[in-house]
Amino acid sequence: MSAILSHVMQGAVLPVHVCEKLDKINRDFLWGSTSEQRKMHKVSWSKIVKPKDEGGLGIQEARAKNIALLSKLNWRMYHEQDALWTKVILKKYCANSRVRSRDLEKLPSSPNWKAINMGFAVFKKGIAWGIGNGVGVNLWMDNWVNGESLRAMIAGPLRQEELNLKVLDLCDYQAWNWDLISFNLPQFIKDKIKAIPIQLYGNGRDTVMWKCSNNGEFNTNSAYRLAIEREEDAVQFSGQWVWKLDMLPKIINFIWLCLHGSIPIREVLAGRGINCIKLCPICKEQDESILHLLRDCVYARDQWSSFTEGFETWLKTNCLSEMKHKSTTPCCTLFIFTLWSLWKNKNLVVFENTILNPRLDKVCLCQAKDYYYCISKAKQITPTIAIPVRWSKPIPGWFKLNTDGAPLGNPGKAGGGELIRDSEGRWVRGFSRSIGHATSVIAEL
C-alpha cells in the first residue's frame, strides 16, 4: 500500500483528511485495533513516525512523506531545466508579469504547481550551494557556507541593498572583499568562508547539492527527516543499539518498548490514568515497574548476578555482552530470552492463573541454545589484510607532487601543504598554508 501511495504523492498534494486517514490505518494495523475493538497505543504516534535511530519505528507520517516527495519534484525541476515539462512550468508560473503580481496567491495554478510550492520549503532547507561563479547565490539567504546560510549565523537587521548581494559580489578573483559588508563579520565566519573551495576551471555554474546525503544526491529519507522536524525531545533516545541485536523481531520490539517505558505493566497503566493496583502481582511487596518486573522482583533476582547499574545501562551492557555462557551459548542471547520469559511468565500468572515456573533458568537456556544454533546469523569475520604504505619514486625525468590537509577537530582550524620531489626523492619545492575553518574533507580537497 505504501508504494502505491508514494507514486501519487510524488506529484500531488494529498488533502489533510486523506493523510490523517492513512495514518489511522497504519496505527490501527500496528496496535491491532479494529472498528469494533480499540487497542491501547503503547507508544505515541509522534515517536513512532521518527526514524529508527531517533527512537521511532521508521513508519512514515503521510503528510510529511508527501512533502518530502514533493521536495524531490523541486530537485528534479532544478536539475532538469532543459526538459520540456520544466520549461512549460517555468514559463507559465515564473514569468515576470506573474511573479510581480500583487495577488500572487490568488492567481489560478495547476495541481502540479501547487505540489511544487508545497515541497519548496523542504527543498530549500535540504540543499547546499557549491560556488562556481557565485552569480546565482544570494549572499545572505542561500545555504553556501558549509550548508548553512550567513543569515542563520548573524543576528540583527541588514540594509536593503545588502540583502540583494550575491556571492559573486563578495568574491573578487579568489580574494574576499569584506569591505562590501557594512559591519565586521566575526572571524570564525570569515574562516569558514575562506575554506570554501571555489571552482577555478569548468563551466562556472553554481551547483546545488543535497546536504543531507554523502554523495550530494537527493535522498527521500533525509527529506522526510527535514519534513518532520519538530521541537527536540527533552530526553534524546539512546537505544539505537536495539536494532542491531541478532534476535527475533517480536523480542526486539519488546526491548524497544521497554526502552520507551511502555510495556503494559501496572505502574505504566496507572501513570496513564487507568485505575489499577500498582503492587507487583508476584511478590506483592513493591510497585510493579519495568525494572522491578525484569530485574528486582524476588522471582527475577534468582536469574541475575548484576544489579548495580540503572535500567538502560544494565539492559544495554547485557544485550551487547560478548561473553559466553559455560554452555557456549552467548550470554547476550541467554539474557534476552530470560527477559522475554520473565515477561511471558508474569502474564501467564496474571491472566491464566498458572503458577510461576520454578525451572525458568533451564527453559531460557534451552530457548537460547535453540535460537543460537538453529536460527541466529553466523557472524562473518572479515580478514584484515595489512597493506604497507610508503612513498615511491616517480620514473626518471618526472616529478611527484604530494599534498595533504588536516583540521584541528572536525570541523576545525585547518591547514594544508604540498611538496614536489624529483625521481631521486630530492626536495624541489613546497609550501604550506592556512585553509580557514573546515572539515577534514574540505582540508583534503
Question: Footprint of Zn ion on this chain (CB under 5 A)?
Answer: 280, 282-283, 297
C-alpha cell at 72: 524531490
Q: Which is nearer to Zn ion, 87 or 301 (CB)?
A: 301
* Residue among 112 and 341 whose Cβ is closer to Zn ion: 341
Query: Taking the complex as a whole, how short is the minimal distance between the CB of residue 307 and Zn ion, in angstroms?
Result: 14
- What are the grid coordinates assigned to 394, written together? 616517480
Nearest approach in angstroms of CB 14 to Zn ion is 49
**Residue (154 or 283) nearer to Zn ion, CB:** 283
Q: In whole angstroms, how far apart are CA 426 and each of 135, 395, 401, 423, 432?
A: 44, 13, 12, 7, 18
Q: How far is the CB of 350 from Zn ion (least distance, A)?
A: 12
**Using CA atoms, how far apart are residues 38 and 31, in angstroms rounded to an integer?**
9
Smallest gap from Cβ 279 to Zn ion, in A, equals: 8
Question: Least CB distance from residue 364 to Zn ion, whole Å?
Answer: 18
**CB under 8 Å to 352, separation ≥6 — which residues?**
none
**C-beta closer to Zn ion: residue 296 or 422:** 296
**DSSP element (H, E) containing 413:** strand 412-421
Nine cell digits for residue 213:
546525503
Q: Which helix (H) or strand (E) is 313 found in, with range? A: helix 311-319
CB of 286 to Zn ion, least distance (A): 6
Give 242 or 280: the residue with its C-beta nearer to Zn ion.
Answer: 280
Q: Which helix (H) or strand (E) holds 338?
A: helix 331-352
Pure H helices in 145-304: 150-153, 160-163, 167-170, 187-194, 220-227, 249-259, 266-271, 290-291, 298-301
Q: In what helix (H) or strand (E) does residue 420 lie, and over which residues does it extend?
A: strand 412-421
